[in-house]
Amino acid sequence: MEHITKAKIVFMGLALTGLVSFKISRNDNEQFSKVAERPNIIFILTDDQRFDALGAMGNQIIRTPHMDKLANAGILFKNAFVTTSICCVSRASVLTGQYQSRHNIGDFSTDLSSAALANTYPSLLKDAGYKLGFIGKFGVGKHPPHSLYDFWVDTEAGEKSQPDYVTIGKNGKEIHDTDTIGHAIGDFLNQFGNKDPFCLSVSFKAPHEQDGDPPKYIIQSRYKDYYKKVSIPYPLTADPKYWNQLPDFLRTDGNFGRSRWKGLFGTPELYQENVKNYYRLITGVDDVVGDMVKKLAQLNLTKKTIIIFMGDNGMFLGEHGMEGKWYGYEESIRVPMFIYDPNLPHQTASQMVLNIDIAPTILSMAHVAIPKGMQGVDLIKLIKKQIPEREDFVYQHYFLGSPHIPKEEGLVTKRFKYMNFIEHNYEELYDLKNDPHETLNLAKDPKYNTVIKGLRTKFTQRKAEIAKPD
């Protein structure tokens, strides 16, 4: 009552006695309706899942029937990218809807500031009355905001920046991280499924490797025979000539992408086993998604719940002689993404979309105002052609630096990709239309002088734009 003025009290009293007539406007009705009809939202994030590691994206080997069903009934984005291909930065971009230049998370130890956290999609949904759940790997900073959430299952285990795949469960027995997450999803839905609208963020470790020397893909034992009789074809750029044509500062054993390649893909036998293990981990995630969908149906939540799925960054599976991500090649920066909304028809979307679009899209779905500091767009408005298509985006990767991960930035357009390894002033230019596998660097080709000059200028402009404070 403290927010109701005396004038309003008098007005309401007069209305009740019939001395004043009033009606709710159409806009008021629409607003009340929107609040009453706010959907539940589940956001699923996998770790290191590249764009083509999904059946719905054309992969004929991997088994992902549950995710495929959602993608093929929902909106499947064929050209989804991350603005920085490393988990800590990408996850901060997902939460804030911002490029690294604005949110300033550039490593694994820095936390979001309290002001930045207040403008993330979970905080804004909490303010709007949503129940919040988080399950899995938070991945931003050393002090995740567990008090913000009504339900919290953190698998990062203290100071580690990566969860362990195998831990000891509540029953004292070993359990795989994917199974831990699956059980937690069921627990959350049991507790919060039929209360206020909820937003559940689920963050898998899979299919990220377990760090080590060498790193390993640690699978659930029940998937060990999956893909056993399949021969995984080598990608085009796994041919050694593409590694050999890279610049000297990349073509060293100090390059993390190369050192991991040796331990995981360095022989034909290792390649077959570890790509299959990568696929097995994704199939494990798919089964959890299937169980989640069944649970939603059991609770009569299917028509009330929107499911959004994406990978936090891509992954080299031998391309350019590497295993990992970080660099600006397609396999590293391009990810799977779909939105399943039971109230929208299926659509395959060709527009260029980004990880920074997740936060504004979720807020718009919940009828919550999008802060002006968010740099992404509402994907539903984009596919409905209510806003212009994106023509390009800035790529940034500044973590570590040479020799381990040389720093790189650039501009990706629908036709061309311009990248610069800034410590070495080494430029790359690829014609994605005619060379989708990025086999030929055109940066020094005289025929492309005008193109590269234009892209340099555009990149400089765009980089300055995205760095401006809101």
Q: Of 369, 384, 400, which closes a domain?
A: 400
The string of pLDDT tens digits covering residues 5-33 is 333 333 333 333 333 332 323 333 343 33
Q: Of 400, 428, 456, which closes a domain?
A: 400
* 174 lies in the same domain as 227: yes
* 251 lies in the same domain as 331: yes
* 22 lies in the same domain as 108: no
The string of pLDDT tens digits covering residues 334-361 is 999 999 999 999 999 999 999 999 999 9
* 157 lies in the same domain as 28: no
* 158 lies in the same domain as 15: no
The string of pLDDT tens digits covering residues 42-91 is 999 999 999 999 999 999 999 999 999 999 999 999 999 999 999 999 99
* 28 lies in the same domain as 95: no
User: pLDDT value at position 140?
Assistant: 94
The Cα diameter of the chain in Å comes to 87
- The region of weakest confidence among 3-12, 246-255, 421-430 is 3-12
User: pLDDT value at position 169?
Assistant: 84
User: pLDDT value at position 298?
Assistant: 97
Q: How many domains does the chain fold into?
A: 2
What is the C-alpha to C-alpha distance for residues 357 and 344, in angstroms, rounded to an integer? 18
Residue 409, domain member (yes or no): no
User: pLDDT value at position 160?
Assistant: 64
User: pLDDT value at position 295?
Assistant: 98
* 135 lies in the same domain as 11: no
* 89 lies in the same domain as 21: no
* 21 lies in the same domain as 45: no
User: pLDDT value at position 157?
Assistant: 64
Helical ranges in 104-252 per DSSP H:
114-118, 121-127, 177-192, 240-244
**What's the chain's average pLDDT?**
91
- Whose structure tokens read 């200028």? 457
User: pLDDT value at position 469?
Assistant: 83
What is the C-alpha to C-alpha distance for residues 177 and 170, in angstroms, rounded to an integer? 13
The string of pLDDT tens digits covering residues 84-112 is 999 999 999 999 999 999 999 999 999 99
Residue 468, domain member (yes or no): no
Residue 326 has pLDDT above 50, yes or no: yes
Cross-strand partners of 430: 417
Residue 333, domain member (yes or no): yes
* 202 lies in the same domain as 289: yes
Residue 448, domain member (yes or no): no
* 128 lies in the same domain as 12: no
Q: Which CA distances in Å does 239 have to 128, 230, 334, 461?
A: 53, 21, 21, 37
Residue 290 has pLDDT above 50, yes or no: yes
Instruction: Report, in angstroms and rounded to the nearest whole number, the Rg of the chain calculated over CA atoms.
Output: 24
Closest CA to 73 of 350, 343, 359, 300: 343
Residue 405, domain member (yes or no): no
What residues make up the domain containing 305? Answer: 37-400
Closest CA to 353 of 373, 380, 327: 380
* Mean predicted confidence (pLDDT) in 241-247: 97
At CB < 8 A and 24+ separation, what contacts does 267-270 make?
Answer: none
* Mean predicted confidence (pLDDT) in 194-210: 94
The string of pLDDT tens digits covering residues 359-407 is 999 999 999 999 999 999 999 999 999 999 999 999 999 999 999 999 9
Q: Of 400, 428, 451, which closes a domain?
A: 400
* 31 lies in the same domain as 42: no
